[in-house]
Amino acid sequence: MDLAFLHPLYERPGPWASVYVDTSRHTESTTPHERSLLAQEASRQLAEQGADEATCAAVRAAMEELRFSSDLCGRALFANGGEVVLDPSLASVPLAPLSTTWGMLPRVAPLLDLVGEDPLVLVAYIDRTGAHFELRSGGSGPEDAGSVTGSRQWPMHRTSSVMQWSERHFELKVENTWAQNAAEIADALDSCQQESGADLIILVGDERERAYVHERIAKRLLGCTVQAPHGTGSRLLDEDVERLRAQHVHQRAAGELDRFLSARSPDDEGRVGAVEGVPALVDAARQHQIDELLIRMDGPDAHREVWIGESPDMLAVKQADLKAVGQEHTWSARADDALLRAAVATGAPALSMAAAGPGDTPSGGLGALLRWS
């Protein structure tokens, strides 16, 4: 997950109110009074944890407004200094109807599973004359992304009679027409992907036409391109897209896990490309070496206590370690949230290992691929 959207949470000092609310139970029969009670409960819980009155009021008001939202799963709210700073919609239903946290760092780690990977999908409906493109993103319908018409429109169809020399010559012209148009479709796909930033490409069309385009697609796109078994003119249903998106997310997580496992062994220079466990990760964060953070939310290290300073790279396993380097103000924090703050500061992404399937790697639930300057 690209963590850039979290930057506003680290542009002001804590403490922070973090609220996760399940909106999947909100129906037309849910009364304003019931929603108001949930908002009041969130405010009450935060006040008991020490939140200031202005921040509690801001959370309560924002939750009251959720009665107008169309969120199918839930919403996260992050408030500070009497203001809700960030309120992303959730793609999965939270485990509890309501959870609240008041602490020096915003409680962002659950977002990895609740917002999750949301790959933007570029669908190409291919025929022999060209292709029509559309973009699909989670929770929204298709968006027109343009089309391409091949420069060669004749001949298009093969002969079915016994081949004579002239017919064979015609067949070769058909093949050349298809090949030329497929190359132009592949070029247009490349441009559309670069412009849109799509994470996954789905080729839709007759098997032979899809194959022609797939053979000519840019090498950099092969790893994120799949083919859908639908004929010309058919439109992918939402469930088809979601299934292929889920497969893509799983394969990406499994691939990053394999890369992590391989990188734990030292290279020819004796350097490792991956570390796990809180002490090693804290050290990597302080040296700005985290290239990608891997987290299993149910791992025992995720909620382990670490110590943080005012800057994202000031974290340590022991409070005395920060005091030793001149940090006057220090606070305790969860390891996962502290490491995510450090990752945001250096532009490193994070990935939930839940998508890779069950397992106990990385050890303790926290790991990182490293960058070496």
Residue 198 DSSP one-character state:
-
The one-character DSSP state at 94 is -
pLDDT of residue 160: 45
Spatial contact of 253 and 351, defined as CB atoms under 8 Å apart: yes
Q: List CB contacts of 341: < 8 A, sequence separation 6 or more.
A: 10, 105, 308, 312
pLDDT reported for residue 167: 47
Residues 259 and 369 sit within 8 Å (Cβ to Cβ): yes
Residue 202's Cα: distance from chain center in Å?
Answer: 18
Helix axes 335-346, 278-286, angle to 10 degrees: 30
Q: If pLDDT is split at 50, 70 and 90, which confidence band does 228 have?
A: confident
Does 369 score more than 80 pLDDT? yes
* R_g (Cα) of the chain, nearest Å: 26
User: Rounded distance, CA 244 to CA 241, Å?
Assistant: 5
- At 133, the amino acid letter reads F
pLDDT in tens, 160-203: 444 444 444 434 444 556 777 888 899 999 999 999 888 899 99
Give the span between the Cα atoms of 151 and 176, in whole angstroms: 12
Quote the percentage of the chain above a pLDDT of 70. Answer: 88
Tell me which of 235 and 186 has the higher pLDDT: 186
Q: Tell me, yes or no, if the pTM score tops 0.95.
A: no
Instruction: Give 150's contacts (C-beta < 8 A, 6+ positions apart).
Output: 128, 129, 130, 177, 180, 181, 182, 184, 185
* Of 335, 332, 307, residue with least CA distance to 322: 307
